[in-house]
Structure 1
Amino acid sequence: INRVNRMKKRGLWWIFGPVIIAFVLIGALFLAPFSLNHITQNDIREASVSFSKNVFKGEAIKTAAFNDKSKRYVPFFGSSE
């Protein structure tokens, strides 16, 4: 009977163990102190002369450029014609 109980516990661990570990790893990933939205001065400088659509309409880059009071960023939207 003792062996049957050990097998049941081991079986439950093989079922629920990976799920518990996955939740712990996902929780650690969400609580990790890192940012994917870090914009450097070089990013702003390169984006200010870029005409690609994803940079031209990038909200995070525009916000970072407007918040930098030392650079006096002036946006030009529209056609040059």
Structure 2
Amino acid sequence: MNTPRRKTKSHSVWTAEHDTAVRRLADAAQEVKHSDTPSSQQQLRSAVDAARDMGIGWTKIGDTLGIASGNAYHRYRKRTTQQRCDANGAHG
């Protein structure tokens, strides 16, 4: 038999946390549009990292940012310290 799934309290909490992470991501993206500063860029990167830590997929992140999921992945995936240094032109 096909019975409907009951929403549990933990599911509701996860959904609320998920929604909060997506809202934070959208707010950070909006801030970058209005004021493209290093601080706003860092806030956006932190929001993407938090969304990924919550299990939000690259498709949802890309949709929220208005870019393709692959572009979101390549732009915001977590990088090692060495990769960040190489991208910034520093040598370690």
In our comparison, the structure showing a higher alpha carbon Rg is 1
TM-score by length of structure 2 reads 0.28
TM-score by length of structure 1 reads 0.31
- Higher normalized contact order (CA 8 Å, seq sep 6+, divided by chain length): 2
